[in-house]
A and B are shown apart, each in its own frame.
Chain A
Amino acid sequence: MLKKIRANTFVATTVLAPVTYASVPTLALTWDTNVNTVSMTSSQEAKIQRAEEKIKAVVASSTFRSRVLNHTYRGVKKFVDNNGLTNSQIYYKILYAAEKLQPSKNNTMDMGIKTYYENSNTVGWTSTGSTYINMNTKFLNNYTSTNVTRNMMHEWLHKLGFSHAVSYSTSRDYSVPYGIGRIMEELAANY
């Protein structure tokens, strides 16, 4: 049951938890980032900050909500390796933002980023035993802030407890980290 209060703005007239405004939950609008960077150059730091702004704008958008809720794998609305969660539950898990190692539902992406250089094809790595992610500067220095949003979102989704197959396969692209990382990058390009 929706009541039109302004052009294109609807509020729920029945009690829904969480209450939605302008077709996204309030949690999407209040969602924040708390990213701690370690020994980065000023340009790397600026790129991360810009990426954080883009990630916040994307999470607050109704397009992001719609893309996550309508994500489809082989004709079924779901993600691969979804930990038994529906698309809607995955969306709210992102909004609650309770990382495995920082489990309060604080509505904030909590994460640290360390850099390293390696002349390899590894973009970065993360361990479920750490609150940090590791970015290879060989890639970070050439990435745009939009590319960085994909990597940050992907790695952070590991912190929320999502995983994916080790090796590439077409289905792996539909896992939560790859699928939502890709959605993030696509939408971040608009900001």
Chain B
Amino acid sequence: MKKLIPILTLLICAEARSVEVAHEFDRKEEVACHKEIQDLGCVDSADEEILDCVERQKAKLSPTCQSIHLVKSQK
């Protein structure tokens, strides 16, 4: 049994890590926020937002965009 405990712990941890939470935002607000992030220069060539770049400049974002970023960065 003692030998099994580390294996079981590992399995439980792996299971806990595999749980993902997906938030859906109001589309209009999310698209407007993406534009703000683009204007900060925090969008790469594939149109993906660079979260740590946004994090450094988040004070420049509108309150709505800041709250969207907060939810995303909590993941």
Contacts and interface: CB of A to CB of B under 8 A. Distances in A.
Interface of A: 120-129, 139, 151, 154-155, 158, 163-171, 177
A155 B23 CA distance: 10
Interface string B6-24: 0000000000001111111
B1 interface: no
A154 B72 contact: no
Nearest to B24: A123
Contacts, number: 69
Nearest to A125: B23
Given A121-B67, A128-B18, A129-B19, A170 B25 contact: no
Identify which of A129, A151, A155 gathers the most chain B CB atoms within 10 Å of its CB: A129
Given A120-B67, A121-B64, A122-B71, A168 B23 contact: no
Contact of A166 (B19, B34, B47, B72): B72
Given A167-B34, A168-B33, A168-B34, A139 B26 contact: yes
Contacts of B64: 121
Given A128-B18, A163-B22, A170-B47, 20 more contacts: A120-B67, A120-B71, A121-B29, A122-B25, A122-B26, A122-B71, A123-B25, A125-B21, A125-B22, A125-B24, A139-B26, A155-B24, A166-B75, A168-B25, A168-B31, A168-B33, A168-B34, A168-B49, A169-B48, A171-B46
7 contacts: A121-B30, A122-B26, A125-B21, A125-B23, A128-B19, A158-B20, A168-B33
Nearest to B54: A167
Contacts of B49: 167-169
Contacts of B29: 121
A91 to B, nearest CB: 22
Given A124-B24, A125-B22, A158-B22, A169 B75 contact: no
Nearest to A151: B24
